[in-house]
A and B are shown apart, each in its own frame.
Chain A
Amino acid sequence: ETGVTQTPRHLVMGMTNKKSLKCEQHLGHNAMYWYKQSAKKPLELMFVYSLEERVENNSVPSRFSPECPNSSHLFLHLHTLQPEDSALYLCASSQDPFQETQYFGPGTRLLVL
């Protein structure tokens, strides 16, 4: 595998479910990001991790809980989501945090019923 991978690619969940999104980067980068892409809206940065430490949280509701066990893996734990949370969730990485050039994964399409 090369680049940035994400699993699952599609996820349907009820509002009471708990699920997790996984991201893995194979680029040797030190920073990883979660973005949310909603229909007809620009990409929104959710979280930034640098060497497993969270360095930014853009006022994201607590029903989204990120986890970065090491510099290659990033998770987004989901619980009690709302239908408006349905979106494409994109993971990205860069060599260093807040670096201008980021490489994106294919995203997870999430539908909350």
Chain B
Amino acid sequence: AQTVTQSQPEMSVQEAETVTLSCTYDTSESDYYLFWYKQPPSRQMILVIRQEAYKQQNATENRFSVNFQKAAKSFSLKISDSQLGDAAMYFCAYWGFQGAQKLVFGQGTRLTINP
């Protein structure tokens, strides 16, 4: 079964600085999707960024970018120019084409932005 591991329960960063959140996963599949979701205090789970495994180019969405290392099964999220509104729980998730075809989530990283 696929597993997703976020080894940093909590992270903090100064406003306007850059922070990287780590995620590793375990799978035997060659094609799959990876996601980062953001859950602010409002609890709304918001899709931040999506990466397709067959694409070598790292996905970017404005200030959010990923470092996808397929061989290492690593999928980190970089947030540039951190803003107070970025404070939230961040969840890494995996979805594979085979097997259960459902999202598998990590345990989350709580990100605090210091003004």
- Mark A residues whose CB is within 8 Å of B: 40-43, 45, 48, 56, 88, 90, 92, 98, 100-107, 109
Contact = CB atoms under 8 A, between A and B. Distances in A.
A42 B45 contact: no
B95 interface: yes
Interface of B: 4, 33, 35, 37, 42-47, 50, 91, 95, 100-108
A109 B107 CA distance: 18
B107 A40 contact: yes
B46 to A, nearest CB: 8
B43 A101 contact: no
A100 B98 CA distance: 12
Contact of A106 (B4, B42, B91, B101): B42
Nearest to B89: A37
B33 A43 contact: no
Nearest to B94: A100
